[in-house]
Structure 1
């Protein structure tokens, strides 16, 4: 039985990845911060699976990571743990860098110190491209425009360095935006779809958003975690972009989500300057042809279809809450 170690297992991607690996017969171990003890709803349905084990820990605690990696002896390590909200990273740059950049260094160092022969996946991000014009691929210039993007770029190059310096099977998945009904409610797509459900029920009368003209390449998270897994099954380690190749504005996503409820988004969306970033990333559209050619991976779900899926899921969640009330 293969053993996998997932940091960030309680997050959107971590929960889908845990499901995928358990379905493939893996013994799955997840790293959980003590502060996440009450926010495990994404993996609650996996609690009774005998092949899932959760461990308390933190990416900022290098010594504990060495001991944990030595204890688990994983065949595959997926580093999905991060401070992942771009806007918040401007307000918490030190914590963002400590968790995302130094945390990745701690984990890679723990693997070496424990003497474990395993394969390592680093969750990189399209935010590393920043102001570089689309389409962006593995050879595009990096120019991050936030503490989040900068911290992830440091983690990305650290992963490359450990691959080249120590022969570690280490890969970086440069994933463009990917969403799902499990997306955090402070991310713009989920904020929109949750608002549609609440407005439709008459609970809210509007939602406040920032930049509506930003262009993003949105895909479906379960498809992207399969891409992560495929990267670690390849014969040789390499870095891959995962994206749909199609860009939409935040306004487009709004329109599709509200239209699914027969609502005119312009009547309910209000602009709030406080949601703007100090430095904006105007357009991220990925070219994942390398992943398609070498891994056989291709995105299947479009952003506008995703908007409708997420609205339906938020409708169901709200209906359950109202019934309980």
Structure 2
């Protein structure tokens, strides 16, 4: 095996091992959260409910409160590895089945929002970096305002204007099974989620492009007679992609977290609204499962980004190999 191949293998192995350790530590933290609260865990779980003997027995059986802590954790952890996330006290349903029924709506919303952010944010960032002057100033002002706008405020404004006053879009629900219905129903929620992230994406893209446009290797390429689209594509955009890609990895997990507010405003039956309801009703099994899901998505996307970026930026690959 060549030294370069060995270095690449160590890089991939190290990143994968780091992701696995992160997820394992996350399971410990998530499971231990209930037992860090002062008082009896059962009293916390029964808060706000009428403690009938049947309910008390169900809670004790589900959370195995009569077993030692490490044994409870091991049973819970091995159950997750086999796809058993527990039972929802609130919905009287297996948590895995509950998440599977809610997941499509959130996936549609996150993917739709991510597309809007990538297209809108990068387009604004490129225009700001390349055009300069008044265009740059106007875009900077606009993206600063976009970045500071909370998603729930944007959701309320869009709902009032485009669903209430103009009637262009529906105000409630995720639409039917067909693609057209989904897109129509999720447009306002996706735009509300995308606005602040698109502003940040535009500023990151602008900064990355500006840094590359002023770099030595771009100046050298200009001196060799290169210019126009060829110079931008091969000497500017390629290297500027790295910070944009890094932010995109954080973006996906961030959308899963912030979608809960928008889902509540638009009455979407997704993961976000599920976790809000579960926290309110102390449905611990659902909260644990959703928390693990969000962390898993965050770890996985950042792992992919970390492995892909050296393929894009040769300088980064050489630095990591060294």
* Richer in helix (by share): 2
State the TM-score, normalized to the length of structure 2: 0.22
- Name the one with the larger strand percent: 1
Q: Which has the higher contact order (CA 8 A, sep 6+)?
A: 2
Larger radius of gyration: 2
